[in-house]
A = this chain, B = another copy of it.
C-alpha cells in the first residue's frame, strides 16, 4: 500500500525541515543567473528559522517573464527532462523546468494528495484533464501511476466517450474541472443516466476557484464526494495542497513548500486566519527553485488542527485574485467574500452587483442583490427583514456595512466573469 511518511510529520519536524530546506534552496537558487544576482552577498548561514524567509526578496510573474527562458535555471539543460509552460495568452509564457528528481518529487506529492482524499491503488482513475503543456493532466497522471491506480488518460472533452469509459470500466475516481463537472452532470441527466448507477465515488476537483455551493452541487448531481485542491505551475502544478477526507480545508505540503499569507498592499504577514495573498517558496526543487513567489491568489489559513490530525496547515478556498482587492474605509475587501455570503442565502437569485461610490470624501460600497421570485412576492416588512439580514451577514464578513438594494430576478445586467460584477462610480464624482 502507498504511504508517504511526510504525511505524518509533527509541527516541530515540519518547522525544522523547512529551515534546513530553505537554506539548501537558497544555496541552490544562487546558482541561477537571476537569484545569483538578486541574492549577491546573502549569507545562507544567517538563516536559522523559517521566519528568516522575510529577509529574502519576493519573486513575481514578471520576474519569471523578464528572465525567460533560462534565467532561473540552476543547472545545465542536459539535467532537465521536462518543461511545462503556461498558455502564454498574456505575453511571454511562464516556463517551469524539471529535473528527474523534480518529477519524482512531484509524482510523490501528487500521490500523497490523492491518498489523503481516499484514493487507493485498487481504484480505477479517469483523468479528465487536458494533457500536454498544461500541468494538470500529466501532473495528476504521474501521481495516479505512482499510487498504482488503473489510470485512464481520457483527457479533456468528448463527453460521450467519457461517460462510456466510466461505465465500461467501473471507474471509481474522476479528476475533473469544476465547471466541466457541472456541464458533465447536465450531460448525464440529458442522457437519462441515473447518478445512482454511476460508479465513481470520488472526484478530485480544482484548477478553478469555486464555492462550497458548487462543490455540494457537484457532489449531489454526480452522487460522489468532491475534494478541492490547489496547485499552480510555478509550484510544479497540481499537488500543492489537497483536502483530506474531512473536506475541511486543503493541507499544504509544508515539507515541499513554505507558504506565507501577506497583505497585498503592505506585503507584511496578515494576522493568523486573515485573508491575504498566497506567497510560496519551493524547498525541494532542484532545476528551478522559486523563492517567495507572489501567486496573486487570495486565501487564508484555517486556524486549528484538522480532525485527521495531520500537522500540515490548511488553506481555505481561494477567495479570488489579489488584483481584485477593493479598499473601502481602509479595509481590504474581495468580491469573492461578498459572493460567498450571498450564495449561502436561499432567498438570493443568480445575479448581484457591487457598486463602489463616494459620499463626500468617503468611499461607500453598495450591493445590489437579485431576489428569487418566490421571496419577492412577500410584503414589505419581510423584504426589509431580508435586506437587514443580508447587510448584517455581509458586514460580519467584510467588516464594513454595505448598502443593500434588493432587486427583482433578471433585472441586473448579466455579467460574464468576475470583473463586471464590480462597478466603480467613485472616479465620476471626484
Contacts and interface: CB of A to CB of B under 8 A. Distances in A.
Interface of A: 68-69, 77-78, 80-85, 87-88, 93, 97, 100, 103, 121-122, 124, 131-133, 137-138, 145, 148-155, 161, 164-165, 168-169
Given A131-B131, A131-B132, A153 B169 contact: no
A78 B121 CA distance: 7
A69 B132 contact: no
Contacts of A150: 77-78, 80-83, 97
24 contacts: A69-B168, A77-B124, A78-B122, A78-B150, A81-B145, A81-B148, A81-B149, A82-B145, A82-B150, A82-B151, A83-B151, A87-B161, A93-B164, A97-B150, A103-B145, A131-B137, A131-B155, A132-B153, A132-B154, A132-B155, A133-B152, A133-B153, A133-B154, A138-B153
**Copies per complex of this chain:** 2
Nearest to A122: B78
A215 to B, nearest CB: 26
A94 B382 CA distance: 62
A85 B165 contact: yes
Contacts of A161: 87-88
A150 B132 CA distance: 14
Contacts of A81: 145, 148-151
Contacts of A132: 131, 137, 153-155
A133 B145 contact: no
Contacts of A93: 164
A69 B169 contact: yes
Q: Which 5 A-B pairs have the closest CB atoms?
A: A131-B131, A132-B155, A80-B150, A78-B122, A132-B153
Nearest to A120: B78
A85 B166 CA distance: 13
B151 A131 contact: no
B152 A83 contact: yes
